Every structure is written in C-alpha cells, then in structure tokens.
Amino acid sequence: MTTGRFVEPLGLITGPVSFHALREGFALPLQGGDIAFAFVRLIEDGEDLGVGPIRDVPEDWHEAMHAIAQRPGPFAGLPTERPLLMGVVNVTPDSFSDPGRLADTATAIAAGHAMLEAGADILDVGGESTRPGAAAVTTEQEIARILPVVRELAKAAPVSIDTRNAATMRAALDAGAEVINDISALRHDPEALRLVADSEAPVVLMHMPGDDPATMQSLATYDDVALEIAGFLRDRIAACEAAGIPRGRIAVDPGIGFGKTLAHNLALIDRLPLIASLGCRVVLGASRKRFIGTLSGVEEAGRRVPGSVAAALAGAARGASVLRVHDVAETAQALAVWRACAMGRALD
C-alpha cells in the first residue's frame, strides 16, 4: 500500500477561463504555470477520500494543496515558462527507435546539432540500450560511445547523460554534460547517489520496477499505477534530499513503457498532475514507444511520429515540463500551435 497523503489536481483548465477562475479563487495554477486546476482528489494511505472543488478542501490539507501551485525553480538553468524539448541522441547499435542510425560518432553529433536547430532545449545522450532484451554493454563500452558525442554537443547546448552507471556519469560530467538522467532513479549503482550529490548536477529520477530493463516487464503489476509510481518517486526524492540533493535539482519521470502495459501508460499520462504534485519538474518520455504502435497499428518505431506528437501534447496539457522526443521539429511545431490555441493568444 502507498502510504502518506497525496493531493491529485483535477478539472484542468487553460486560456481565458483559467484566468477568471484563478482571479475568483475557483482554481489554482498547476506548478505556477498556465494550466489551472479547479478540483482535487484527496488520497491518504492509499484510500481515495473523494473529489471536490478546491474551495471545499479541509483546512489541514491546504498546505499540501497550495504547494502544488508553486512554480519549481529553473531546472538546469532552462526556461520555466513553457514545456521544454529534450532531443534523444541514442549512440547505440540496437536502439528500439532507430537501430544503429546514430551509432557513428559523427552522425550522432550532426543529429544533435540538427535537433538544436529544430528547437531542442537540451540533448539527452545515451550509450546503452534499455529496451527489453537488449544486449548488455560494459561501462567501458558505454563511455567510449558517448564521450566524443557529449564533448562536442556540450559546446552548443546543455547535455544530459542517459545512464545508470556512476562511472559513465562521472566521465560525461567531466566531458561537459550538465544533467544526469537515470532510469533506475539512482538505485542501480551504489555510487551514483553520492556522485550526483557531490557534483551538484541536476538529476532526472525515472520509475522502473526493479533495476534491470531485461526483467522490468515481468514486474508490471500495480493496484493503482499512478499512485504507486507517485509514491515511489516521492520516496526517491526523499532519498536524494537526505543525501544532499535539493529538490530544485530534481526532475521526475513516470517511466512510460518501462515495466508498464498499454493501460498503465495511458493511466499515467492521464494522471500526470498527480506526479506534478510532488513539486518537481515532470519529464515525459513517450516518443515512439510500443504503446503508440499498439494504438495506431504502426509496427515500425520510426513511423510513429504523429502518434508521438499526440502523446507529447497530451503530456504538456497535463503538466509535463520536459518532453523527451526523437522528432524535435515536428513536436516543436505542434507544441507552438497547441500553446497558442490553449492560451487563446499568440505567444512569443
């Protein structure tokens, strides 16, 4: 059972209606942004206490509810007023999304620069495939793959390193990377938590059942997937804070596709505001995932661009702060139009 209290924002609104609702006290801003929430679900020790308007929330829940309205600080010094785009640069021969396309160093670097030109705010470089059944690589192999790519791309933009190995984290930071993105939420390598704390680097904590991608799908069993993952991430945030990593340096990722079924993935995207209620930036990595292929009938991952864009917009509409995507240009264009339509005005 997931213990503790959770306030889940509901009744999301945007545009002119949200401005009026905020002014009249009928709504609060989700993480201080352009999306407001007018209702909440109160959950205590796994028990759903019911849904109601924010004005009817009992006084002893007010502090937790109003905390959700506070804007988190800038993550890695990046803008806070809009969803950010994190471009995926997989320097692996067996990536699920584009097998081997960026395995060559020069090609990976060129792809990273193209993503920046298309609107990426940060680049996420990875040297180990974490799809189910992927071949294991040594830390030495992983470092050899990513180091020249990180070193070059870090000259042009913020770079995050997608790894669960402390040695790779250290090498990437030394090469210019600024952010750690760990699918194991700093659980896989016993040295990772201390390294991140000492480095003062921002970190993305992702949920995955267990700490091995090879077995994660066998552990895809939840009573309430969104609540259980919110509880897991809350506990990992607490572990980081205890180790000296302040909440302002932490972003969280529900781990779409990592030990989740189609139903789990859809529930998590729908209930992203619950993840946002933890007070950290929310990263959503749904791009080209299998569930998009299942829903759309498209087997080849590289042809799932329209579905990936749709998932990204659904996440942005529910409070995702960072969208981790393979198709930056398409997502940037869709996001610009969606934001203007949602706000009811042209945006800079």
75 falls within a domain? no
The answer to whether 260 is a known catalytic residue is no
Residue 245: is its pLDDT beyond 70? yes
Spatial separation of the C-alpha atoms in residues 318 and 46, rounded to whole Å: 22
Please compute, for residue 178, the number of CA atoms within 13 A of its CA located in the half-sphere on the CB side.
Answer: 15
Same domain? For 44 and 166 the reply is: no
Task: State mean pLDDT over 62-78.
Answer: 92
- Dihedral sign computed on CA atoms, order 332, 76, 251, 174: positive
* pLDDT for position 179: 98
pLDDT at 25: 93
Question: Do residues 233 and 150 share a domain?
Answer: yes
Q: Are residues 33 and 93 in the same domain?
A: no
pLDDT of residue 99 exceeding 60? no
Whether the predicted pLDDT of 219 surpasses 90: no
Do 63 and 104 share a domain, yes or no? no
Q: Cα separations (Å) of 28 from 35, 177, 326? A: 9, 36, 33
Domain assignment of residue 348, yes or no: no
Contact status, residue 272 vs residue 254, Cβ threshold 8 Å: yes
Q: Is it the case that residue 182 has pLDDT exceeding 70?
A: yes
Query: 183 and 37: one domain?
Result: no
Of the residues 67, 92, 120, the one at which a domain ends: 67
Would you say residue 78 lies in a domain? no
- The answer to whether position 181 is within a domain reads yes
DSSP-derived letter for residue 243 is T
Q: Give pLDDT, residue 122.
A: 98
Residues 6+ apart with CB under 8 A from 64: 5, 7
Same domain, 9 and 148: no
Is residue 154 located within the same domain as residue 15?
no
Q: Are residues 33 and 132 in the same domain?
A: no
Residue 55 lies in a domain: yes
In a domain, 235, yes or no: yes
| Interacting residues of 265 by C-beta distance below 8 A, sequence separation 6+ | 256, 257, 286, 289, 291
**Would 73 be classed as within a structural domain?**
no
63 and 92 both lie in a single domain: no
| Mean pLDDT rounded to a whole number for the chain | 93
pLDDT recorded at residue 339: 93
Of the three residues 67, 100, 116, the one that is the final residue of a domain is 67
Q: Are 232 and 240 in contact (CB under 8 A)?
A: no
Region 190-206: what's the mean pLDDT? 97
* Residues 265-309 pLDDT 10s: 999 999 999 999 999 999 999 999 999 999 999 999 999 999 999
Average pLDDT over residues 188-217: 92
Assess whether 50 and 166 both reside in one domain. no
> What is the extent of the structural domain holding 46?
5-67
What's the rounded Cα separation, in Å, for the pair 346 and 172?
39
- The number of domains in the chain is 2
How far apart CA 93 and CA 277 sit, in angstroms, is: 37
Please tell me the pTM assigned to this model.
0.94
In a shared domain, residues 203 and 325 = yes
Residue 131 pLDDT: 73
Look up 324 and say whether it is catalytic: yes
Q: What are the phi and psi torsion angles at 253 (to 5°)?
A: -135, 120
pLDDT at 189 over 90: yes
DSSP 179-218: EEEETTSS-SSTTHHHHHHHHT--EEEE--SSS-TTTGGG
Query: What's the CATH number where 268 sits?
Result: 3.20.20.20
Are residues 125 and 233 both part of a single domain?
yes
How much is the pLDDT for 218? 77
On whether residue 227 sits in a domain, the answer given is yes
List of long-range contacts for 207-211, beta carbons under 8 Å, 24+ apart: 207/232, 207/233, 207/253, 207/254, 207/255, 207/258, 208/183, 208/184, 208/255, 208/258, 208/259, 209/258, 209/259, 210/259, 211/164, 211/184, 211/187
- Residue 212 has a pLDDT of 75
Task: Kindly indicate the confidence band of residue 242, based on its pLDDT and cuts at 50, 70 and 90.
Answer: very high
**Residue 136: per-residue pLDDT:** 76
Report whether 132 contacts 117 (CB < 8 A): no
Binning pLDDT at 50, 70 and 90, where does residue 160 land? very high
Comparing 26-30, 95-99, 172-176, 240-244, the range with the smallest average pLDDT is 95-99
Catalytic residue among 271, 289, 290, 304: 289
Segment 127-159, tens digit of pLDDT: 998 876 667 789 999 999 999 999 999 999 999
The active-site residue out of 234, 271, 324, 339 is 324
Give the helix, strand, coil percentages of the chain, each rounded to 5: 40, 20, 40
Q: Answer with the residue of higher pLDDT: 348 or 41.
A: 41
As a whole number, mean pLDDT of residues 5-19 equals 94
* Domain final position from 67, 93, 110: 67
* Angle between helical axes of 139-153 and 166-174 (0-180°, round to 10): 20
DSSP assignment of 83-148: -EEEEEEE--TT-SSSTTTT-SHHHHHHHHHHHHHHT-SEEEEE-S--STTPPP--HHHHHHHHHH
For the chain, give the percent of residues with pLDDT over 70. 95
Question: What confidence tens digit (pLDDT) does each residue in 248-271 have?
Answer: 999 999 999 999 999 999 999 999
The average pLDDT across 6-32 equals 94
Torsion of CA 230, 233, 234, 237, to 10 degrees: -160
